[in-house]
Amino acid sequence: MSRPIPLPDSKSSPTRTVAIVGGGPAGLMAAEVLAQAGVRVDLYDAMPSVGRKFLLAGKGGLNLTHAEPADAFAGRYGERRGPIESMLRRFGPAELRSWAQGLGIGTFVGSSGRVFPLDLKAAPLLRAWLHRLRGLGVRFHMRHRLIGWAERAERDGAIAANALAFETPQGAVTVEADAVLLALGGASWSRLGSDGAWVPWLHARSVDVAPLRPSNCGFDAAHPDPDADAAVPMQAGWSEHFRSRHAGAPVKNVALQCAGPEGRSFAQAGEFVITEGGVEGSLVYAASAWLRDAIEGVGRAVAHIDLLPGRSAEWVAREVAHPRGSRSLATHLKARLGLDGVKAALLRELLPRAVLADPLRLAAAIKSLPLVLTAPRPIDEAISSAGGVRFEAMDADGMLNALPGVFCAGEMLDWEAPTGGYLLTASCASGVWAGEGVLRYFGKNPVAHCVAAPS
């Protein structure tokens, strides 16, 4: 039998209570908004400590946000630009940097426009944040795994939306609060707590949830029959020859282009990495939504790789056509175009012999090498996930239409964004949005209770 955690009775106490489930950036930001407004906040998380995905994401240097213009920034959210942009107007990149400064964490803009803490580390920021939250009275309950709504009948026999059931090392517990804020994450990196287990619970309560799909992910590739006259995929993955020599190799200074739905297209320069059976890395992640959607629509996606983005097609054609005499094709490409290593190997892997032997077709392929991708990697390997609670299932303050008093924030909402600070910024902004939504639900004015910034 579960044991209830006692919380103040809102009927006899003026202090409102909120149970936040999820200790990522969205949940923590919501906790700050609410605690500053005098709300009693209890935060629950399945892991031994909060912010685990946040800390892992910052291992190579915490990318807080991006300094590009607001219109370009909002455009990174694609079809969900509308609802995310409204959140960013309240708490966007500038406010996030000011908030970090208020915690004693200065920031700087890198050469790519990405914004980082001065020491590049996530841990000092998280420590300062938790110190502030504890000072505001937020209570943390670790190793509390939400398993759904508590089976407690109300007056009409319905299950109370604000009565939650948790599993803990000490046994089952139930929690009741005046409002519930769910910030449960998506379904990527389940070892850090985001496993998507909440989807069937919300479905069962008539909440519209878009299927969770991998985002910012790698892809499986296919290579053609080298004797075919066209690059038609015949075998999954890479050939053993290519895989054994180049898995793990970065492909630098290239550009990727692919077509999207409704005439949209993706084109960006950068780099990616060869994996055991396909590709991953920053450039692939940036194109992942386009590539994933194409695969879902027609069973495959074709990414066109420009191996020499700094050279014109005319220059490449002229250099490839230059007489090579007795030199091998590999020597010729290295001497005339500087193509060798993994780039030259990709040409041999992805082009039929007939194309390699034809200077005109080879030159065209160097500027637009077709890379056929057959499937995204599993969602648990992805950096983030797409899909989640649809915005149409909530009111303007983030409260579920089907569950009055229950709010949602963070990656469990139906949006996605590329890496580069966009994920973290929107997660934090959604926490502010949902937290202020709870305040309005309580009849409080959120304008007077904003996230702390430096004085």
Q: How far is Cα of residue 394 from the mean position of the Cα atoms in its chain?
A: 21
The residues, ordered by sequence, that sit 6+ positions from 245 with a Cβ below 8 Å of its Cβ are 345
Q: Which run of H or of E encompasses 330?
A: helix 329-337
* Alpha-carbon span 140 to 19, nearest angstrom: 10
* Alpha-carbon span 53 to 343, nearest angstrom: 34
* Alpha-carbon span 51 to 30, nearest angstrom: 14
Per the CB < 8 A criterion, the answer to whether 289 and 386 are in contact is yes
pLDDT at 12: 39
SS3 110: coil
The residues, ordered by sequence, that sit 6+ positions from 103 with a Cβ below 8 Å of its Cβ are 125, 128, 129, 132
Q: Provide the β-strand partners of residue 255.
A: 269, 306
Residue 95 CB-half CA count within 13 A:
17
Per the CB < 8 A criterion, the answer to whether 260 and 266 are in contact is yes
* Alpha-carbon span 240 to 87, nearest angstrom: 48
Contacts 24+ apart (CB under 8 A), 196-199: 196/379, 196/385, 197/146, 198/146, 198/412
Look-up: residue for tokens 């160097």?
366
* Alpha-carbon span 43 to 127, nearest angstrom: 16
* Alpha-carbon span 441 to 269, nearest angstrom: 46
The dihedral formed by the CA atoms of 131, 433, 206 and 79, expressed in degrees to the nearest 10: -120
Contacts 24+ apart (CB under 8 A), 441-444: 441/179, 441/397, 441/399, 441/405, 441/407, 442/16, 442/39, 442/178, 442/179, 444/37
Domains of the chain with CATH codes: 3-213+385-448 (3.50.50.60), 219-376 (no CATH)
SS3 279: strand
SS3 210: strand
The residues, ordered by sequence, that sit 6+ positions from 145 with a Cβ below 8 Å of its Cβ are 46, 166, 167, 168
Task: Tell whether the torsion through CA atoms of 225, 228, 234 and 238 is positive or negative.
Answer: positive
Cα→Cα distances 280→22, 35, 63, 368, Å: 28, 41, 19, 19
Q: How far is Cα of residue 451 from the mean position of the Cα atoms in its chain?
A: 23
Residue 212: closest CA among 226, 200, 223: 200
Strands 233-236 and 219-224: antiparallel
Residues of the chain with pLDDT under 50: 1-13, 153-158, 448-449, 453-455
What DSSP designation does 399 have?
Answer: B
In three-state form (DSSP H/G/I as H, E/B as E, the rest C), the secondary structure along 146-187 is EEEECCCECCCCCECCCEEEEEECCEEEEEECCEEEECCCCC
Per the CB < 8 A criterion, the answer to whether 74 and 408 are in contact is no
pLDDT at 226: 73
Residue 214: closest CA among 157, 293, 276, 98: 293
Q: What is the DSSP string of 348-388?
A: HHHS-HHHHT-HHHHHHHHHSEEEEEEEEPPGGGSSEEEEE
pLDDT at 5: 36
The dihedral formed by the CA atoms of 32, 33, 35 and 36, expressed in degrees to the nearest 10: 110
Backbone torsions φ then ψ of 432, nearest 5 degrees: -60, -45
